[in-house]
Amino acid sequence: MPDRIDPTEWTAELDLMRRLVVGIREVSEISGVPQRQLRYWQQKGIIQPVNPDCTVRKFDYLNIKRILLIKELLDEGYTLDAAAGKVAARIQRLNEAFTRLHAASDNPQEKPQA
């Protein structure tokens, strides 16, 4: 097993996660969150379908993950706004980490010669 994962593999994984989309019914089945509640979260701006102008809502992996995290926090007793804020902060930290990883992969440090 390699010690390091090639950063291009992460890029491919992220691209795949962005391309995989499912309808609101499937998201409801996956998450256990009723469709009506998902529509409400969308109206509040907490989640956004990948095709906001279409009548059939489609959600990508990152939105599904956001929904699952929010539901978990709601089940723990958080309010919707508090859960959404906590998840948004967590996603922001992850985005910053991915940005640093991507920057590091673009500028690999040279190994000292033996």
Q: What is the pLDDT of residue 109?
A: 64
Q: Please tell me the predicted confidence (pLDDT) of residue 2.
A: 55
Give pLDDT, residue 51: 86
**Residue 114, domain member (yes or no):** no
Give start and end residues of each alpha helix (H) in the chain.
7-19, 24-31, 35-43, 61-75, 80-106
Q: Which domain holds residue 15?
A: 9-106
**For residue 17, is it within any domain?**
yes
Specify if 58 maps to a domain. Answer: yes
What is the pLDDT, as a whole number, of residue 94?
83
Residue 3 belongs to a domain: no
We report the CATH number of the domain holding residue 35 as 1.10.1660.10
Residue 74: inside a domain: yes
- The per-residue pLDDT for 33 is 98
Question: 7, 102 in Cβ contact below 8 A?
Answer: yes
- Mean pLDDT by groups of 10 residues along the chain of 114 residues: 62 76 95 97 94 86 93 98 96 85 70 49
Structure confidence at residue 112 (pLDDT): 46
Q: What's the total number of domains in the chain? A: 1
